[in-house]
Chains A and B, each alone.
Chain A
Amino acid sequence: MLPAVPTSTTEAVTGADAAADPAPPARRRRTPSADRAPGPRRETLLAWGFLAPSIVVFTLFLLYPLGRTVYLSMHGNDIIGRPSRFVGLSHFQEMFSADFGKVLVVTALFTLGVVVPGAIGALAVVLLLESQVRAQRFFRSAFALPFAFSVASASVIFAVFYNPASGVLNGLLYQLGLGQVAWLTSTDMALISICLTTVWMNLGYGVLILAAGVGSIPREVNEAALLDGASGVRRAWYITVPLLGPQLFFLIVISTINALQGFGQIHILTQGGPVGSTTTLVYSIYQLAFAHGTSDFGRASAQALVLLLMVLICTAVQFGVIERKVHYS
């Protein structure tokens, strides 16, 4: 290939430079002094030395797996799960189908249904807490509590709530003389129920982040508005919310990425059902690679790359569009 020549030339030039200026750096190396910077070669070596640990870690845990995923995505598997035949891009071609389209739609709905109510909910709680409530500390901790729950235990608790025959929620509706809801067993409700669970699980984190943000808003701004006679609602909407911009933005980015990767609650509550109505991209990947005795790592890897792309695009769009409107004080 062409670029090979210039590269080696540059190397040769660098080498010549070093050779033309041999003695001083060598001496400096033996007697390092505080006022003189180390020679260029030594500096480079030192830089690589400092970089080495992170390069090794990144290569082992990010670059190698990524490369391996690309490799696997282009191969079919034997029954043990070993890549056994090259299939080119056919796993990607297969994705242009109604089935995979449905997975993408479910993923998008799930993400929206978690991120938007999650941000609004956390904001509402924080704004309410910010006004002079009694036992503010208690409520703040209480609302932040879901953060301490693991996905698994929260999901198990919600499974008890949603149980079609003996669930707490249907029991309540029954006491109130209302009809029963098929929380997890109808294709219309299942995704909503999963979103509800997830919003509740994420609420604590959102409250923590936004409460910290509220704490950092300068007191004078609010006092000035108060003197001007601004009501609580106006102050919340025109002062607190805009000044919370950076925290809200951070929360939206993080919860989008989390939603795109959400797994535990789906696995425990619905296993992607009924009829695929809660099968998000991550769950689809899991099903292909590990669930019920399959080892279709090829298709799973191909979908994993699509997921990577989606996270990248979402994050890029959020940084490109929303961040412009964020006011960093």
Chain B
Amino acid sequence: MTLRSRTAAVAAGASIALLLSACSTDDNGGGGGGASASDVPGAEVLDDLDQAVEVEFWHSMDSTNGQVLNGLIDEFNAANEGRVRVTGTFQGDYDTTLAQHRAAIQQGDTANLIMVYDLGTQFMIDSGQTVPAQAFVDKDEYDTGALEDALLNYFTVDGDLRSFPFNNSTPLMYINRDAFEEAGLDPDNPPKDLAEIREFAEALTITSDDGQVEQYGFGAAVYGWFVEQFMARAAVPYCDNGNGREGRAAEALFNDPKIVEVVEWWQSMIDDGLAVQIGRSTDDAQAAFTSGRAAMTLESTGSLGGFLEQSEFEVGAGYFPLVSSDDPGGSIIGGASLWINGEGHSQEEVRGSWEFVQHLLTAESQSVWHAGTGYLAVNTEGYDGPEAQERATEFPQFAVAAAQLADSETSVNTAGCMMGVMSDARVAAEEGWEAALTTNDSAEAALTRAKESLQRKIDEYNDSVG
């Protein structure tokens, strides 16, 4: 046994060394930030093909959203017969899709086009598999003028657009208009900041004779994304080094006094019986709102369709609240963008992927996409399309999200934090917030501890990318 196992160990060691050296050459030569317009294939590579080039597209859109997306894919395939054929596959939620992508990188078998959530942006840049979106824009002199500024702001790093925004949303405040009217409040003027929410909640909370709360004024999920949104609205950065856009972010800043204020406010709302305590489940928060138990809630624009369908009352929407009334009020986006993989893919495939992305970004497609899913129209001209117009007439609430973005100035604080472990950061912020609500710790102590628990992950990530 001994001799053989020693040989095996040596062989294994050698193969690992080979593997590692192979990886490191990959990393050095990878298509990270180096690709320029001249490396990007032009439309001519798709001329005179024997058969259409296959483009594999990994996404996280299922049910209604998936059907709308498949409609757009079919449309593109029909128009590009003999040139490009796109196959979309649902890979599970964003986390799962990214995990599959990691495995695919290890096996050298990535999809051509992949949908990655906002939090994965820095990771996608560091893993060096993709062709930066800017290279395509430069090559084709593609006009990004119509694309939503807040989105370009988020996905532009070091002056280059890194990926193409596609399914994006922004959080809003939703109100039960019927409850507002019953309480003598004006549903057309929903509260704008935390103090006002509390004031409104006092009027909206209904307690029965035996002291049980029948209707809470407020109820929303403890959701890390909201921390990012509150900070953007207060114009404070989420992480250091200019939100990680001037240099690599080395520290998260979500224990900022503004967030401490939010968490303390949240706690007092629950303690005083004005808000129902909902954990981290956004499903539970949605149920609390649609069942009429909570008269105000915070949720993504993407939930509007579901709210309209499931509520027996009239649903209203307002801007996401400010922490305090003197905050400048920026707005940050969430959702995912599209990345075109270059590493290990032919010129034809890369070109085919880009042409498909262009199809998704046309005003026509975006009108269909926005009306069918409730996501923002990435191409703002999409709001003028017939489908979007029809929807806006039927449900004026849809206009609020676009207005909230148009109303907010873009700055480095609203661009969002670029951090390799951004997904962990969101969870850490959420856990700190939750700990403050469920334990005896003060908001400041809980958030600071959460921030410290994240530090090891930030350091390890930064060390491993050098």
Q: How far is the CA of A294 from the CA of B460 in the complex (A)?
A: 12
Q: Which residues of B contact A182 (CB under 8 A)?
A: 277
Q: Which residues of A contact B280 (CB under 8 A)?
A: 271, 273-274
Q: Whose C-beta in chain A lies nearest to the C-beta of B123?
A: A79
Known contacts A166-B291, A270-B279; decide if A294 and B420 are in contact (CB<8 Å): no
Q: Mark A82-103, 1 if CB is under 8 A from B, else 0.
A: 1110000000000000000000
Q: Mark B118-161, 1 if CB is under 8 A from A, else 0.
A: 01100100110000000000000000000000000000000000
Q: Is B431's beta carbon under 8 Å from chain A?
A: yes
A164 engages B278 (CB within 8 Å) = yes
List A residues 49-80 near B (Cβ within 8 Å).
76-80
Q: Which of B81-89, B198-206, B433-441 is found at the contact surface with chain A?
A: B433-441
Q: How far is the CA of A275 from the CA of B447 in the complex (A)?
A: 12
List A residues 112-126 near B (Cβ within 8 Å).
none
B23 engages A76 (CB within 8 Å) = no
Q: Is B106's beta carbon under 8 Å from chain A?
A: yes
Chain B nearest CB, measured from A258 CB (Å): 25
Q: Mark B424-451, 1 if CB is under 8 A from A, else 0.
A: 1011000100110111000000000000
Q: How far is the CA of A185 from the CA of B120 in the complex (A)?
A: 29
Q: Whose C-beta in chain A lies nearest to the C-beta of B279?
A: A185
Q: Is B377's beta carbon under 8 Å from chain A?
A: no
Candidate in A76, A82, A273 with the most chain B CB atoms within 10 angstroms: A273
A165 engages B3 (CB within 8 Å) = no
Q: Which of A140-148, A285-293, A312-320 is found at the contact surface with chain B?
A: A285-293
Q: Mark B12-49, 1 if CB is under 8 A from A, else 0.
A: 00001001100100000000000000000000000000
Known contacts A78-B464, A165-B287; decide if A290 and B99 are in contact (CB<8 Å): yes
List A residues 283-328 near B (Cβ within 8 Å).
290-295
Q: Is A48's beta carbon under 8 Å from chain B?
A: no
Q: What DSSP secondary structure best describes chain A's contact surface?
A: loop
Known contacts A80-B127, A273-B279; decide if A292 and B212 are in contact (CB<8 Å): no
Q: How far is the CA of A175 from the CA of B106 in the complex (A)?
A: 56
Q: Is A222's beta carbon under 8 Å from chain B?
A: no
A166 engages B288 (CB within 8 Å) = yes
Q: Which residues of A contact B103 (CB under 8 A)?
A: 81
B23 engages A82 (CB within 8 Å) = yes
Known contacts A3-B2, A79-B123; decide if A274 and B279 are in contact (CB<8 Å): yes
Q: Is A159's beta carbon under 8 Å from chain B?
A: yes
Q: Is A133's beta carbon under 8 Å from chain B?
A: no
Q: How far is the CA of A149 from the CA of B141 in the complex (A)?
A: 57
Known contacts A80-B102, A165-B294, A293-B424; decide if A4 and B219 are in contact (CB<8 Å): no
Q: Which residues of B contact A276 (CB under 8 A)?
A: 431
Size of chain A's interface in residues, with CB distance under 8 A?
37
A275 engages B464 (CB within 8 Å) = no
List A residues 229-288 near B (Cβ within 8 Å).
270-271, 273-276
Q: Whose C-beta in chain A lies nearest to the C-beta of B126?
A: A79
B421 engages A294 (CB within 8 Å) = yes
Chain B interface: which size bin?
35 or more
B464 engages A84 (CB within 8 Å) = yes
Q: Is A22's beta carbon under 8 Å from chain B?
A: no
Q: Mark A28-48, 1 if CB is under 8 A from B, else 0.
A: 000000000000000000000
Chain B nearest CB, measured from A270 CB (Å): 7
Q: Which residues of A contact B212 (CB under 8 A)?
A: 174, 177, 180
Q: How far is the CA of A163 from the CA of B219 in the complex (A)?
A: 13
Q: Whose C-beta in chain B lies nearest to the C-beta of A291?
A: B95
Q: How far is the CA of A95 from the CA of B176 in the complex (A)?
A: 48
Q: Is B188's beta carbon under 8 Å from chain A?
A: no
Contact of B106 among A4, A81, A164, A180 (CB under 8 A): A81
Q: Is B98's beta carbon under 8 Å from chain A?
A: yes
B291 engages A80 (CB within 8 Å) = no
B95 engages A292 (CB within 8 Å) = yes
Q: Which residues of B contact A177 (CB under 8 A)?
A: 210, 212
Please name the 10 residue pairs, one residue from A and one from B, whose CB atoms are nearest each other, closest first.
A165-B288, A293-B423, A166-B291, A165-B293, A185-B279, A292-B423, A275-B435, A1-B2, A274-B438, A166-B287
Known contacts A83-B16, A187-B438, A273-B280; 13 additional CB pairs below 8 A are A78-B464, A79-B123, A79-B127, A80-B105, A81-B106, A84-B23, A84-B464, A159-B281, A164-B276, A164-B279, A180-B212, A271-B280, A291-B95
16 contacts between A and B (CB under 8 A): A1-B2, A4-B3, A78-B464, A79-B127, A81-B102, A84-B23, A159-B281, A159-B284, A165-B291, A166-B288, A273-B279, A274-B279, A274-B437, A292-B95, A294-B423, A295-B102
Q: Identify the A interface with B (CB < 8 A).
A: 1, 3-4, 76-84, 159, 163-166, 174, 177, 180, 182, 184-187, 270-271, 273-276, 290-295
Q: Identify the B interface with A (CB < 8 A).
A: 2-3, 16, 19-20, 23, 95, 98-99, 102-103, 105-106, 119-120, 123, 126-127, 210, 212, 216, 219, 276-281, 283-284, 287-288, 291, 293-294, 420-424, 426-427, 431, 434-435, 437-439, 457, 460-461, 464-465
